[in-house]
Amino acid sequence: MKKALTMVLAALVAATVFAGGQQEGTKADDGKFAWITESEDGVLPGVNPLEVSGDIITAGSSTVFPLSEAMAERFADEGYAFNITVDSIGSGGGFERFCVAGETDIANASRPIKDKERTAAAEIGREPIEFRVGTDALAVTVSSNNTFVKDVTMEELAKIFTSEKWSDVRSSWPNEKILKFIPGTDSGTFDYFVEEVYDKDPSALLGTSDLQMSEDDNILVQGISESPYGIGFFGYAYYVENQSILSVLNIDGVEPNKANVDAAAYPLARPLFIYSDAKIMKSKPQVAAFIAFYLTYVNEEITRVGYFPANESVLAGGKQAWLKAVEGMY
C-alpha cells in the first residue's frame, strides 16, 4: 500500500514538474541565485526569503524535527511564500526517502549517514552532503513523580533498559517493574543509544520486557510522565518542552546542560545533521536558499528549541560545504 502511495506521489510530482517550470524556482539571468542579498556572516551569501520560490520537502529525524520546524517557520516569517514540509519519521525513514525513493530535498538526521545509504543514494544519482546544525544531549528521563532515580552510571543505564525490575539494577530501588519507553528502531536516537550503550548490538534492548516503542516522541513523553516506574530517552528538546512533568537523569554524575555539552563531559551528547545534494541545491535554488538560511541563523534558534550550538569550526565546515556545492551560483 505504501508503495502504491509512493508511486502516486511520484506521479503527482512528475506531473507538477511537467506542468510548469516555475516549480523549479527562479534563477537570475546570469545563472546566479536570484535570492542573494547582503551577507550576514561574511561567509555565506545572504538570503532574501521574499525572492525565494518553489516548494521544499524535508523529512527525517524526530529529534531534528523541532529545530528544522523552527527554521522553516522563521524562513516563512521573513517572507518565504511557498510550502516547506518537515516530516518527522525517524532518521532511517528520512534517509530512505532521500536516498532510495529520492522524494525529498533534505534529510534530517540525528546520526551520520550510513555507508549503505550513501551507496543507495549513488544509485539514484545523489551524493549526500552533510551539514552539521547542532548538538543534542540525549535526555534519559523519568516521571517527575519518580523520586528514587536521580543519577545513573553508564553501566546502570545499560542494565536498566534490559532488566525487569528496578531492584535488579540497584538493590535500594523499589521491587517494581521497569516500564521502558524508547524511540522505534527506525530512529537515529535508537541507533545512537544502541551504539553508545550496547556496543551496536540491539538484541538485548529489543528482547527486554515491558518495552514500548514509538517514532512519536510525544507518545514517549506521555508514557514516561504518567508511569512512576517508567523510564525513557529522546532528544533534549522534548525534555525542555516537558520539564514540568519529567525529570532528567545525570549520567555518570554529569548533568546534561550547555556547559557540560560544550566541554564534551556529558557522555550522551551527539551531533545533529541535515543532508542534501549539490544537484538538488543547484536545480532547486529554494533548497540552497533554505540551507544557507538554516546555517546562518541556526544558532539564534537552537537554544530556544532546546538543543546546543555546534562548535564554531564544524558549523563553518558546513558553510564551506555549501559554498563548494553551488560554486558559481553566488
Residue 228 interacting with another protein (CB under 8 A): yes
Which residue in 226, 259, 300, 320 binds another protein (CB under 8 A)?
A: 226
State the Cα–Cα distance between residues 134 and 143, nearest whole angstrom.
Answer: 27
Near another protein in 72-131, by CB under 8 A: 89-90, 92-94, 96-97, 100
Helices (H), 134-277: 154-160, 166-169, 188-197, 203-206, 217-225, 236-241, 258-262
Cα–Cα distance, 174 to 317 (Å, whole number): 49
CB of 178 vs another protein, minimal distance in Å: 12
CA distance 117 to 304: 32
SS3 175: coil
Q: How far is the CB of 145 from another protein (least distance, A)?
A: 9
Structural element, H or E, at residue 136: strand 128-137
Number of residues this chain uses to bind another protein (CB under 8 A): 38
**Distances in whole angstroms, Cα of residue 239 to Cα of each of 81, 96, 245, 247:** 32, 27, 9, 8
- Binding residue (CB under 8 A) for another protein from 63, 68, 146, 187: 187
Among 43, 219, 240, 321, binds another protein (CB under 8 A): 219
> According to CB under 8 A, which residues from 144 to 163 bind another protein?
none
Print the binding letters for residues 271-310 with another protein: x by CB under 8 A, - otherwise: ----------------------------------------
Q: Among residue numbers 243 through 272, which ones bind another protein (CB under 8 A)?
A: none
d(C-alpha 277, C-alpha 282), whole Å = 9
Does the protein bind another protein through residue 46 (CB under 8 A)?
A: no
What 3-state DSSP class applies to 93? helix
Considering only 20, 21, 125, 207, the residue that binds another protein (CB under 8 A) is 207
**H-helix or E-strand spanning residue 12:** helix 2-19
Q: What is the smallest separation between the CB atom of 226 and another protein, expressed in angstroms? A: 4
Q: Is 141 in the site for another protein (CB under 8 A)?
A: no
Comparison of 86 and 213: residue with beta carbon closer to another protein? 213
In the block, cell 506542468 appears at 19
Among 16, 83, 85, 203, binds another protein (CB under 8 A): 203
The residue written with cell numbers 545523489 in the block is 126
What is the rounded distance in angstroms from the CA atom of residue 317 to the CA atom of residue 173?
46
Strands 106-109 and 269-277: antiparallel
Judged by the rule CB under 8 A, the positions of this chain that interact with another protein are 1-3, 59, 89-90, 92-94, 96-97, 100, 176, 179, 184-187, 202-203, 206-207, 209-216, 219, 222-223, 226-230
